Amino acid sequence: MTIRTRLALGVALQTAIIVLVVAAVQFLALRSFLVASESQRLEGLMPRLTAELDHRPLTARPPLVITSLPRNVDARVVQGGQVVAVTDEFPALPLTLPAGYAPRAGHQVLVAPLVLRGQPATAQIASDVLGVVDPLRAYLRALAVTVPAAALLVALLSSALAGRLLRPVARLQAAAARLGQGNNLRLPLPGAGRSDELGRLADTLQTSFTQLADVREREEEFTRAAAHDLRSPLAALKVRLQGSLATPRSEAELRENMREALADVDRMQRLTDHLLLLARGTRTVHLRPVDLADLAGEAVDRARETAPDVRLDFETWGDTLIPGDEALLTRLLENLIGNGRRYGQGADMTVRVWGEPDRVRLTVQDAGPGVPAEALPRLTEPFYQVDAARSGEGNGLGLAIVDRIVQLHGGTVLFEATRPRGLCVTVDLPRPQPTKNTTCAASRAREPFRT
Ligand SMILES: Nc1ncnc2c1ncn2[C@@H]1O[C@H](COP(=O)(O)OP(=O)(O)O)[C@@H](O)[C@H]1O
Ligand SMILES: [Mg+2]
């Protein structure tokens, strides 16, 4: 069932229920009004009855016939247990009835005391109940027609209104379908920018489609770059192998060719390793308590061994234990320190690791030439290189991998230019908050530790 039909039926049903409740209240009010006014009318007839009987001689047998009352009212007067006056068609009622006004035997009956020639008597005045029932029946008949008519009218009106209100949804749906077919997720959606609910829906869809388009473009770019980077070593390998087969070679030449071929295979293996690392999902990462300062210290030591003449300082303080993946964090440290080495032109470097209550912070800073400001936001793009010529063996994936590792740990990474020159990379890795009563002396900040 469409929203339009559901809305029309729902509103019609609600209207019918509301009208019926109102009608029931009105019905009860009308009935008590009619009963009360009938009682007043009968009371108003008492003086007329007394006046008629006062002026006529009374005999018990036969009783006097009352003639002064309207035609739809009957009356009887009882004195000393005997009917002394009565109208022609008085209903079959007992002689003694409690005083008051009540419905009896299909009539509204008023029983009231009166004094006839100095003696007490009781008057019973009965009016046909139709005086009350007829207007009520007419009211119910009117309701039987008006309630369904009102419900039908409301259903038609709300269906028309719903159709009008839902028209933008149909337009939005058609536009979204066109977007999918035309493969252009950046086309503007109708209704976007409006301040109502549909405008907000269109805005949300537009934002999601734009994000999807961004992701798709990034993926296409990534695949193109990966294919391109794999193609070069593959082509080189092919040329080398074809060359070796085409002309006879000495054993030494063949060994040299094989060494070069192995270097090509190495490059391709590194690239595929990097691509696999970038594609890793959070579920494949197993976080265990790791001391980031220990890992950084080891990475610094290894870097110092490979280039002992470059100054590389290491400072750490505070509690630097985090839930982390040791192999991934080692890769992150080596990529950052390696970059400082490769692009820092031998300038001094400092690695700092320190603990804060909710996170551990790592900074890798060098005083090299740094990167231009406009390149800073692009550093984590896969295959992005500021100056490919200076990258040597690099393929532009190092910082993309750093970014992915930080993401897998739920952290953040920031690249900033340092003054007067150089690059500073700040990595924040979160750690679970210690509960208040488990803090102990060991977790408080220690004095800075330098090597
Ligand atoms: N410490 C640094 N100083 C200057 N430039 C850097 C530094 N680190 C990275 N870069 C620039 O950022 C680019 C991307 O780095 P990265 O992703 O590690 O790729 P690559 O494989 O080229 O090293 C590098 O090509 C280099 O131009
Ligand atoms: Mg690198």
Q: Where are the alpha helices (DSSP H) in 187-250?
A: 197-246
**Helix 292-306 × helix 326-343 angle, to 10°:** 40
371 CA to centre of ligand 1 in angstroms? 8
- CA 410 – CA 41 distance, rounded (Å): 88
Beta bridge partners of 423: 366, 417
pLDDT score, position 444: 46
Beta bridge partners of 312: 349
More confident residue, 185 or 368: 368
Q: Is the CB of 340 under 6 A from ligand 1?
A: yes
How, if at all, do strands 64-65 and 82-86 pair? parallel
Q: Among the atoms of ligand 1, which is closest to the Cα of residue 366? A: 1
Q: Is the CB of 380 under 6 A from ligand 1?
A: no
Alpha-carbon distances, residue 236 vs 59, 225, 227 (angstroms): 143, 17, 14
Helix (H, G, I), strand (E, B) or coil at 201: helix
Q: Is the CB of 168 under 6 A from ligand 1?
A: no
Q: Is the CB of 398 under 6 A from ligand 1?
A: yes
Percent of the chain with pLDDT over 70: 94
Tell me: cis bond preceding 70? Omega within 30 of 0 counts.
no
More confident residue, 10 or 225: 10
Q: Is the CB of 370 under 6 A from ligand 1?
A: yes
More confident residue, 61 or 188: 188
φ, ψ at 449 (rounded to 5°): -120, 125
- CA 127 – CA 18 distance, rounded (Å): 35
Beta bridge partners of 116: 119
Q: Among the atoms of ligand 1, which is closest to the Cα of residue 387? A: 27
As a three-state string, the secondary structure of 369-408 is CCCCHHHHHHCCCCCCCCCHHHHCCCCCCHHHHHHHHHHH
Sign of dihedral through CA atoms 185, 191, 194, 198?
negative
344 CA to centre of ligand 1 in angstroms? 10
- CA 296 – CA 186 distance, rounded (Å): 44
289 CA to centre of ligand 2 in angstroms? 27
> Looking at the CA of 401, which ligand is closest?
1
pLDDT score, position 443: 45
> Which of the listed residues 273, 343, 351 should we mutate to test ligand 1's pocket, taking the one with most ligand atoms within 8 A of CB?
343
Q: DSSP state, 367?
A: -
Alpha-carbon distances, residue 341 vs 300, 333, 345, 422 (angstroms): 11, 12, 7, 12
Long-range contacts of 436-443 (CB under 8 A, 24+ apart): 442/319, 443/319
What is the rounded average pLDDT of the residues 55-82? 84
Q: Among the atoms of ligand 1, which is closest to the Cα of residue 368? A: 3
Beta bridge partners of 317: 354
More confident residue, 436 or 245: 245
Tell me which residue has its CA closest to atom 25 in ligand 1.
Answer: 385
- 84-89-91-96 Cα dihedral, nearest 10 degrees: 0
> Looking at the CA of 399, which ligand is closest?
1
pLDDT score, position 447: 57
Q: Are 88 and 72 in contact (CB under 8 A)?
A: no
Collect residues with CB below 5 Å from ion ligand 2.
Answer: 339, 394, 398
Q: Where are the alpha helices (DSSP H) in 285-363?
A: 292-306, 326-343
Whether residue 282 is predicted with pLDDT greater than 90 in this model: the reply is no
Structure tokens at 144: 């039987």
Whether residue 58 is predicted with pLDDT greater than 80 in this model: the reply is no
- CA 403 – CA 339 distance, rounded (Å): 14
Decide: residue 242, CB within 10 A, 0-12 exposed, 13-18 middle, 19+ buried: exposed
Whether residue 307 is predicted with pLDDT greater than 90 in this model: the reply is no
306 CA to centre of ligand 1 in angstroms? 19
| Cβ burial 250-263 (10 Å sphere, 16+ → b, else e) | eeeeeeebeeebee
> Which of the listed residues 229, 278, 312, 339 should we mutate to test ligand 1's pocket, taking the one with most ligand atoms within 8 A of CB?
339
331 CA to centre of ligand 2 in angstroms? 11
Tell me which residue has its CA closest to atom 19 in ligand 1.
Answer: 396
303 CA to centre of ligand 2 in angstroms? 14
Tell me which residue has its CA closest to atom 13 in ligand 1.
Answer: 385
| Cβ burial 278-309 (10 Å sphere, 16+ → b, else e) | bebeeeeeeeeebbbbebbbebbeebbeeeee
Q: DSSP state, 422?
A: -
Q: Is the CB of 339 under 6 A from ligand 1?
A: yes
**How do residues 405-450 score in pLDDT, each as one tens digit?**
999 999 999 999 998 899 999 999 999 876 655 445 444 444 566 6
Structure tokens at 259: 């060494």
What is the rounded average pLDDT of the residues 317-328? 94
Tell me which residue has its CA closest to atom 9 in ligand 1.
Answer: 339
> Looking at the CA of 341, which ligand is closest?
1
- CA 6 – CA 350 distance, rounded (Å): 68
Q: Is the CB of 189 under 6 A from ligand 1?
A: no
- CA 13 – CA 152 distance, rounded (Å): 9
Nearest to 351 by CA among 384, 386, 378, 313: 313
What mean pLDDT value characterizes the chain? 87
Q: Are 30 and 136 in contact (CB under 8 A)?
A: yes
- CA 382 – CA 335 distance, rounded (Å): 14
> Looking at the CA of 344, which ligand is closest?
1
Whether residue 202 is predicted with pLDDT greater than 80 in this model: the reply is yes
Instruction: Give all domains of the chain, ordered by start, each with its CATH number.
Output: 3-134 (no CATH), 197-278 (1.10.287), 283-450 (3.30.565.10)
